[in-house]
Amino acid sequence: MIAIIDYGVGNLFSVEKAFAQFTDDVQVTSDQAAIEQAEKLVLPGVGEFGACMKNLVASGLIPTSMKRISAGVPLLGICVGLQVLFDGSEESPDAKGLGVFRGMVRKINAPGLKVPHMGWNSVEVSQPGLGLFKDIPETPYFYFVHSYHAVPEDSSIVAAVTEYGEGLTAAVARDNVMATQFHPEKSGDVGLLVIKNFINS
């Protein structure tokens, strides 16, 4: 079963709908037992970093989720679900992230351009061997909505980048943990292919 972790943050059911195109064995859940038994985990997230972390802490699901990650269970973070995997964010200086990846989430520096970065943008895959991007066309376009982006301490975990005033982290991956800043569930056929690849990984 694929568990989409429900900690009271939006876009859960659009993510579930996208996954349901490829598998019947997916559910949105806040049940600890279900997460303990899941074969794969999905961590969505929209809105402010601090609010997401507050909800995640209040859910009581962090210890179970971290235990499953440590056990090698594949996890896909989406949007703020990517950002909370890092140590913290300039958006919410008092909120501590999960620290799965070392580094901070920084405000986009794009002079002359509107922030948030919203809409379709081309992505350059920097880990072409990553299963998440299997059969993805060269320089695909994905849908973004964000004002902050992750700046990892270890650049080798960057799986994809996009340009918007500066180079922005579009995806990260290491071992069983991968995450996208873009919304695959809102990115048409190419986004659905990313979801299908995660299911089949």
Question: What are the domain boundaries of the chain?
Answer: 2-200
Residue 201 has pLDDT above 90, yes or no: no
Residue for token pair 């993805």: 136
Instruction: Look at residue 14 and tell me whether its pLDDT is greater than 80.
Output: yes
Predicted confidence band of residue 84 (pLDDT cuts 50, 70, 90): very high
Residues with a catalytic annotation lie at 79, 183, 185
pLDDT at 175: 96
Can you say whether the dihedral through the CA atoms of 27, 30, 32, 33 is positive or negative? Answer: negative
Residues of the chain with pLDDT > 90: what percent? Answer: 93
Higher pLDDT, 201 or 91: 91
Entry pTM: 0.96
Average pLDDT over all residues of the chain: 96
Q: For 30-65, write each residue's pLDDT tens digit.
A: 999 999 999 999 999 999 999 999 999 999 999 999
Predicted confidence at residue 158, as pLDDT, reads 97
pLDDT tens-digit map of 148-159: 999 999 999 999
Is 2-200 CATH 3.40.50.300? no
Contact 161, 142 (CB under 8 A): no
DSSP code for 4 = E
C-alpha span between 112 and 109 (Å, rounded):
10
pLDDT of residue 197: 97
